[in-house]
Chain A
Amino acid sequence: KNEVEQSPQNLTAQEGEFITINCSYSVGISALHWLQQHPGGGIVSLFMLSSGKKKHGRLIATINIQEKHSSLHITASHPRDSAVYICAAHHNTDKLIFGTGTRLQVFP
């Protein structure tokens, strides 16, 4: 069992839909990251959070420390949101433990 698990693995949506990607982890963490990776390979950090909720534009990330669960929401999705979204737990030993990613495709 992976220490960081994401669901779903693949997600398709129509433009405008509300999207949720889930992340569960089983290790102690100091922070959790949500990352975006486009087909070219580069990774962009979207959020780093250790409690509560953060919002940036149409993106919202939440974390529940007690339940060891985080969600990434995209409101009013757009085709340019198509990418792989990766959850990464910043382990107490200072390592980043990555989920395998959620591949999102948003169709016009």
Chain B
Amino acid sequence: EAGVVQSPRYKIIEKKQPVAFWCNPISGHNTLYWYRQNLGQGPELLIRYENEEAVDDSQLPKDRFSAERLKGVDSTLKIQPAELGDSAVYLCASSPGTGGREQYFGPGTRLTVT
């Protein structure tokens, strides 16, 4: 069984440029999460989807971040425009459901904004 797939693995952009990350969850997993992990910190939830519905986006900086999961499968996270402070690892995870179900993480995308 394939794991959670993310691309790109690494991205370097200049500030004020847009950037997008893509995630394909494990087949059959209804729940998809986007996390941001700053250096030396634990991941922080940005947004959680149940199928195509964003059920928790309270920590998503909506002025510059957007996400979509149109068909309830793969998802895209976008930053426009990027700022220096957005440099971090962006992790996608999926789960077969909620209620304490195990989350499976992708390899992450390491973003560097210069």
Contact = CB atoms under 8 A, between A and B. Distances in A.
Interface string A41-67: 111110010100000000000000000
A7 to B, nearest CB: 14
Secondary structure call for the B interface: loop
B45 A45 contact: no
Main secondary structure on A side of the interface with B: strand
A88 B42 contact: yes
Interface residue range, chain A: 20 to 34
A100 B42 contact: yes
Residue picked from B33, B43, B107, most chain A C-beta under 10 Å: B43
Contacts of A86: 42-43
Interface of B: 9, 33, 37, 40-45, 56, 89, 91, 93, 98-100, 102-108, 110
Interface of A: 4, 30-31, 33, 35, 40-45, 48, 50, 86, 88, 90, 94-96, 98-101
Q: Which 10 A-B pairs have the closest CB atoms?
A: A98-B42, A30-B100, A42-B107, A41-B108, A43-B105, A31-B100, A41-B89, A48-B102, A90-B100, A94-B98
